[in-house]
C-alpha cells in the first residue's frame, strides 16, 4: 500500500458527492438501518452503528435523518430487508474492482452493476476473482491543517496508539490498522486529542494498475456509474493515474 494515498481518491469522491447530497444521505440511512437492525440501536454498544453514525455526521447528515433510520430499524412494523452482496470484476486493462452493495432487489442490482462494467471496457468475474488482491484494513485520515505535529511526532503517536502503518502527504496523515484493533486505535488517538477526516474499515489493494488516456476515462466512467447507483455502498479498486 505504501506510496499510494487513498486521500486523493476520497477527496475526489467527496467533491463529486457534494452535488448529490440527497443520494449520499439515502445510502448512509440504509447503512445505519442495517447496522442498527443487526446490532441494536445504541451506538455505545454497537461499534458498527457507531462508525456509520460518525461517518454520517462527517458528511453533515442531519441528526433527525440519523434518528429516523435507527428508529425504522427497531420499529415493529418495518418490513424492509436489505441483503449485502459483493460483486467482483475487472475494469480496463485488468484493474481489480470490488463493489459492495446493500439491496432489496438482487436482480436489479446485478443488472445495473453488470451494465456499468460492460459499458466501460470491463467485465464481472466470479466470487473471489479479485478479493485476494486486497487486504482488509482499518483506515484513519487526519487533515494536516488540524494538527501542529511534524511527521516524526505524529508517527510516535500512531505507534503509541497501536497503529500499523502511517503514510504522509502534504495534506494528510493516513493511518492503517488491523481491522480487529481499529476501534481501539481510533479511541486511543481520540484520547490524544486527534479528530479524523475519515475513519472506516476498508479494502486496500496490494498492488496498483496504472491507466491513462482512454482507459483511464473508461475507468472513471465505470466508477461514476457504480457510485451513482442507489444500491452501491462502496467501490474498491486498484486503479491509479
How far lies 226's CA from each of 53, 83, 109, 131, 164, in Å? 23, 17, 10, 18, 31
Lowest mean pLDDT among 22-31, 80-89, 147-156, 165-174: 22-31
The residue written with cell numbers 433510520 in the block is 69
| Of the candidates 36, 38, 45, 90, the residue with the CA atom closest to the CA atom of residue 67 | 36
In which band, very low, low, confident or very high, does the pLDDT at 8 lie, cut at 50, 70 and 90?
A: low
| Mean pLDDT in residue range 113-136 | 96
pLDDT at 16: 57
Rounded Cα gap, residues 236 and 238, in angstroms: 7
Rounded Cα gap, residues 161 and 139, in angstroms: 13
DSSP structure class, residue 195: -
pLDDT at 231: 94
Measured distance between the N- and C-terminal CA atoms of the chain, rounded to whole angstroms = 15
Q: Which residue has the higher pLDDT, 16 or 2?
A: 16
Element spanning 103, H or E: strand 96-103
pLDDT at 26: 87
pLDDT at 106: 94
Share the mean pLDDT of the chain: 89
- Reduce the DSSP state of residue 201 to 3 states and report it: strand
Is pLDDT at 4 greater than 90 in this prediction?
A: no
In which band, very low, low, confident or very high, does the pLDDT at 13 lie, cut at 50, 70 and 90?
A: low
Per-residue exposure over 176-187, b if at least 16 CB sit within 10 Å of its own CB, e if not: bbeeeebbebbe
Q: Sheet of 96-103: strands edge to edge?
A: 123-124, 83-90, 96-103, 232-237
Q: What percent of the chain has pLDDT over 70?
A: 89
Element spanning 214, H or E: helix 213-227
pLDDT digit string, tens, across residues 175-225: 999 999 999 999 999 999 999 988 899 999 999 999 999 999 999 999 999
Model confidence, pTM: 0.82
Residue 58 · residue 198 · CB < 8 Å: yes
Q: Please report how many Cα atoms fall inside a 13 Å half-sphere around the Cα of residue 232, on the Cβ side.
A: 23
In which band, very low, low, confident or very high, does the pLDDT at 76 lie, cut at 50, 70 and 90?
A: low
Amino acid at each position: 500500500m505504501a506510496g499510494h494515498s487513498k486521500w486523493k481518491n476520497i477527496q475526489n469522491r467527496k467533491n463529486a458527492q457534494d452535488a448529490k447530497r440527497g443520494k449520499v444521505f439515502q445510502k448512509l440511512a440504509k447503512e445505519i438501518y442495517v447496522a442498527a437492525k443487526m446490532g441494536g440501536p445504541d451506538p455505545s454498544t454497537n461499534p458498527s452503528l457507531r462508525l456509520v453514525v460518525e461517518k454520517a455526521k462527517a458528511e453533515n447528515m442531519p441528526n433527525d435523518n440519523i434518528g429516523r433510520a435507527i428508529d425504522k430499524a427497531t420499529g415493529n412494523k418495518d418490513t424492509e430487508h436489505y441483503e449485502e452482496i459483493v460483486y467482483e470484476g475487472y475494469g480496463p486493462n485488468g484493474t481489480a474492482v470490488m463493489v459492495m452493495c446493500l439491496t432489496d432487489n438482487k436482480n436489479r442490482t446485478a443488472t445495473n452493476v453488470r451494465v456499468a462494467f460492460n459499458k466501460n471496457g470491463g467485465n464481472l468475474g466470479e466470487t473471489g476473482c479479485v478479493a485476494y488482491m486486497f487486504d482488509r484494513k482499518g483506515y484513519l485520515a487526519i487533515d494536516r491543517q488540524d494538527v501542529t505535529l511534524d511527521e516524526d511526532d505524529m508517527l510516535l503517536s500512531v505507534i503509541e496508539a497501536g497503529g500499523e502503518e502511517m503514510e504522509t502527504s502534504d495534506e494528510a496523515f493516513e493511518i492503517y490498522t488491523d481491522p480487529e484493533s481499529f476501534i481501539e486505535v481510533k479511541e486511543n488517538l481520540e484520547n490524544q486529542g486527534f479528530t479524523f477526516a475519515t475513519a472506516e474499515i476498508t479494502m486496500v489493494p496490494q498492488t496498483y494498475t496504472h491507466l491513462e488516456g482512454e482507459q483511464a476515462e473508461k475507468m472513471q466512467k465505470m466508477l461514476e456509474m457504480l457510485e451513482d447507483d442507489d444500491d452501491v455502498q462502496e467501490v474498491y479498486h486498484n486503479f491509479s493515474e
